[in-house]
Amino acid sequence: MKKINKITISVILLIGAGVLLSNNIIGNKTAFKTYNFGEPSKVYALQIAKEYTFAGETVTMDDADLRKRMDKELLVNTYWQSNMMLMIKRSNQYFPLIERILKEEGVPDDFKYLAVIESGLENVISPAGAKGFWQILKTTGKEMGLEVNSNVDERYHLELSTRVACSYLKKAKEKLGSWTLAAASYNRGISGIKRLLEKQQVDNYYDLLLNRETQRYVFRILAMKEILSNPSQYGFVYNSMDLYGELKAKEILVDTAITNIAAFSKSMGINYKQLKIFNPWLLENHLNNKSRKQYYIALPDSSEIGS
């Protein structure tokens, strides 16, 4: 009898602890929904629209292959929640500048999503050595007018690299005939896409049989556009305070060498870290500038200092 009572009491205590734990989880803000004693959140299949658009060009989902490819990218990005939330936050910070440049260069606004899939809106380096938001190779950057060396790498300069990407995309559009093919060529190359079109005797991206990476490429862009344009529809909940704010800066012209960037930063009323955040293209603690080139160095607005 005493043994039974001990067991009963132990069970009651365990249940009580579970209730307290469950209440504590529910009572606190958490990224995971918890119901009763921890019923897991459900994963839902996503509805595929009848058609999507990219750069004013429509793709109709009337083919099983196209639906499957779109479904995959929507699922991958929707249920990789932490990454997608970061894309939402970063896009609020960087899209305004990218959108302005795309408009000035005459490139469709939808190409901002290409930068998202290329780099996640970070200055990353690929295994092939492509760098920056637009993942530009060293040879390509130099050929298109960017300074790339051990002291300065303008592939990390968001405005300059975006303009270079625009130049490439306009050239690709002219040679290939559509913005969708231009987007695909950003991954496979203009000549590579052109050869495949001729070999397979088709005239558009969606009818091409492609390597795995290029086959996914445009659909990754379409998925990013769809989710970032309709985040609440895909379960992403946030308010404006959660987003990263656009970096506000002023520029100063420098046409001489800077012997010590840390000291230069201090003379500008900021520190080394702040200057490098706004100018990631400055690679070292000095700027050589033997040719007396004119550089525009961004300095954080007073509202950014200390934030």
* Sign of the alpha-carbon dihedral angle for 186, 91, 215, 178: negative
Q: Is residue 153 part of a domain?
A: yes
Domain shared by 211 and 168, yes or no: yes
Residue 259 structural domain: 249-300
Instruction: Determine the pLDDT at residue 42.
Output: 83
Q: Is residue 171 part of a domain?
A: yes
Q: Is residue 122 part of a domain?
A: yes
Confidence (pTM): 0.86
* C-alpha 129 chain-centroid distance: 18
Domain shared by 121 and 266, yes or no: no
- What residues pair up with 254 in beta bridges, in sequence order? 295
Give the domain CATH number at 230. Answer: 1.10.530.10
Q: Is residue 307 part of a domain?
A: no
Domain shared by 150 and 69, yes or no: yes
Domain shared by 98 and 213, yes or no: yes
pLDDT at 16 over 50: no
Domain shared by 169 and 229, yes or no: yes
Domain shared by 10 and 37, yes or no: yes
Domain shared by 34 and 58, yes or no: no
* pLDDT tens digit sequence for 189-198: 999 999 999 9
More confident residue, 14 or 289: 289
Domain shared by 226 and 293, yes or no: no
Domain shared by 68 and 217, yes or no: yes
Q: Structural domain tally of the chain?
A: 3
In the chain, which residue ranges form alpha helices assigned H by DSSP? Answer: 2-27, 64-78, 81-105, 112-119, 138-143, 158-176, 179-188, 190-200, 212-229, 261-267, 272-278
Residue whose structure tokens are 């990789």: 80
- What residues pair up with 59 in beta bridges, in sequence order? 52
How many CA atoms lie less than 13 Å away from 221 in the CB half-sphere?
26
d(C-alpha 273, C-alpha 265), whole Å: 9
Q: Is residue 193 part of a domain?
A: yes
* pLDDT tens digit sequence for 259-290: 999 999 999 999 999 999 999 999 999 999 99
Q: Is residue 306 part of a domain?
A: no
Domain shared by 19 and 119, yes or no: no
Nearest to 78 by CA among 35, 119, 46, 125: 46
On average, the pLDDT of the chain sits at 90
Residue whose structure tokens are 């800077």: 258
Structure tokens at 297: 């160095």
Examine the fold and report which residue of 242, 263, 283 is the final residue of a domain before the chain moves on. 242
Phi, psi of 16 (to 5 degrees): -60, -40
Domain shared by 182 and 149, yes or no: yes
Judge contact between 134 and 163, C-beta under 8 A.
Answer: no
Examine the fold and report which residue of 242, 260, 277 is the final residue of a domain before the chain moves on. 242
How many CA atoms lie less than 13 Å away from 158 in the CB half-sphere?
23
Structure tokens at 274: 């702040």
* pLDDT tens digit sequence for 203-248: 999 999 999 999 999 999 999 999 999 999 999 999 999 999 998 9
Examine the fold and report which residue of 196, 217, 242 is the final residue of a domain before the chain moves on. 242
Q: Is residue 164 part of a domain?
A: yes
Judge contact between 223 and 73, C-beta under 8 A.
Answer: yes
d(C-alpha 305, C-alpha 250), whole Å: 12
Structure tokens at 160: 């300059």
Domain shared by 184 and 284, yes or no: no
* pLDDT tens digit sequence for 24-38: 333 444 444 555 555
* C-alpha 147 chain-centroid distance: 24
Q: Is residue 305 part of a domain?
A: no
Structure tokens at 53: 């658009």
Exposed, middle or buried: residue 67 (CB in 10 Å: 0-12, 13-18, 19+)?
A: middle
d(C-alpha 151, C-alpha 12), whole Å: 68
